[in-house]
Amino acid sequence: MNKTIINRVLLESKYILATDKTIREIAKVFGVSKSTVHKDLRDRLLEINPEIYEAVDIIFNKHIDNRHIKGGQSTKEKYLKKKKKE
């Protein structure tokens, strides 16, 4: 694996552990696609550092458990803004 990729994967993993950000937010910060971040933190990180992978996996699972809540909040805000404009 390329040294640049390894460095990016480690930086992304440290960032998610420090900030608890989502894949979308991490992708914006690092200037890569969501798919790249997902591959980095799901596949490549396991190969590079299994211990950090375990910690990142806990955060991923927490995000998955909460995504329906965030989706509902976003929908609610959308319709509240729409109602305000009317």
Dihedral angle sign, alpha carbons of residues 24, 18, 59, 45: positive
Q: How far apart are CA 26 and CA 1, in angstroms?
A: 21
| Overall number of domains in the chain | 1
The pTM of this model reads 0.78
Query: Mind listing the pLDDT tens digit of every residue in the chain (86 residues)?
Result: 899 999 999 999 999 999 999 999 999 999 999 999 999 999 999 999 999 999 999 999 998 888 777 777 778 788 888 878 77
* Domain span including residue 33: 3-85
Helices 3-19 and 50-85: angle between axes, nearest 10 degrees: 60
